[in-house]
């Protein structure tokens, strides 16, 4: 495990799911962690549990789309722990509908949290990172939605794609001041909340889980998969890596749509194709 003794990490959107595991992994690796969310009970519980285990963790409620809330969050981190070294932008919102049916307020809300929130967190974190004298690392959590379109997801797809450009801009502008910025692109992640939703539907869910067949590795991702990638990119082991994307999707985006045909359909197509080629050769 990477060692983050003496480092201070801030994680946005971390009361549950992927963000919660990122906070836990940083604390286990020795970092002091400040994190925010809008789920106060869950966030306070995470912080209390980590402190009970000897970790250093503080929760603060913050709406990342609010400049005042984000600035206060960064100040809270520095006032309590003296510096800021790592920022992980994981806050998210989504809205499902086709573009022509999507309400403008839903479009604005998703972009405000996913994209503008990441901009604001970086805007107010970077001066503290520079002031520390040793630079810092920013990791933006995007999604495979940034690479391929998903049905009924124009706002989320757009916001997650926007993070790729934001990350490159930060890396290019602030590299000379010791700031690295990278994006992680996860595939479908089975986090604790998804497991709970599945359990409410059935005590005997299908195995493997739906969509697993789309992944060459034969399974969906876990929060730990993403957290491990975050800690790597935040560590000194990645000090020459900036402005790029790390795809953590079990190979999902390596396959074309044709590849995703079920085996029966693919074999049937292959037999037809071979028969046509054979007929052509014989003719």
SS3 call for 249:
coil
Close Cβ partners of 40 (under 8 Å, ≥ 6 residues apart): 15, 59, 61
For every residue of 95-136, DSSP letters joined together read: --S-TTTS-HHHHHHHHIIIIIHHHHHHHHHHHHHHHHTS-E
Alpha helices, H only, 29-66: 40-52
Whether the Cβ atoms of residue 137 and residue 88 lie closer than 8 Å to each other? no
CA-wise closest residue to 143 among 130, 129, 156, 134? 156
Separation of alpha carbons 215 and 60, rounded Å = 37
CA-wise closest residue to 168 among 242, 222, 110, 279? 242
From the number of C-beta atoms within 10 Å of its C-beta (0-12, 13-18, 19+), residue 94 rates as: middle
Phi, psi of 164 (to 5 degrees): -65, -45
- Report, as residue numbers or ranges, the catalytic residues: 156, 160
Whether the Cβ atoms of residue 223 and residue 18 lie closer than 8 Å to each other? yes
């Amino acid at each position: 495990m990477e060692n983050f003794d003496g480092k201070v990490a801030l994680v946005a959107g971390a009361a549950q799911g992927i963000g919660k595991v990122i906070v836990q992994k940083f604390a286990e690796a020795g970092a002091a962690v400040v994190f925010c969310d809008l789920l106060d009970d869950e966030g306070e519980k995470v912080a209390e549990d980590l402190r009970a285990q000897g970790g250093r963790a503080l929760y603060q409620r913050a709406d990342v789309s609010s400049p005042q809330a984000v600035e206060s969050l960064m100040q809270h981190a520095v006032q309590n722990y003296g510096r800021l070294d790592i920022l992980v932008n994981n806050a998210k919102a989504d809205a499902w509908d086709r573009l022509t049916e999507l309400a403008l307020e839903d479009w604005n809300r998703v972009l405000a949290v996913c994209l503008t929130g990441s901009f604001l967190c970086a805007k107010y974190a970077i001066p503290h990172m520079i002031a520390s004298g040793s630079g810092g690392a920013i990791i933006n959590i995007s999604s495979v939605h940034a690479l391929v379109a998903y049905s009924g997801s124009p706002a989320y797809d757009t916001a997650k794609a926007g993070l790729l450009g934001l990350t490159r801009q930060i890396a290019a502008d602030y590299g000379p001041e010791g700031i690295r910025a990278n994006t992680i692109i996860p595939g479908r992640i089975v986090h604790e909340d998804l497991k709970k939703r599945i359990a409410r539907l059935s005590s005997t869910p299908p195995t493997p889980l739906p969509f697993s067949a789309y992944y060459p590795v034969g399974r969906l991702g876990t929060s730990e998969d993403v957290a491990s990638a975050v800690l790597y990119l935040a560590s000194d082991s990645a000090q020459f890596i900036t402005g790029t994307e790390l795809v953590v999707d079990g190979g999902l985006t390596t396959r074309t749509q044709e590849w995703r045909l079920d085996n029966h359909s693919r074999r049937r197509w292959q037999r037809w194709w071979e028969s046509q080629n054979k007929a052509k050769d014989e003719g």
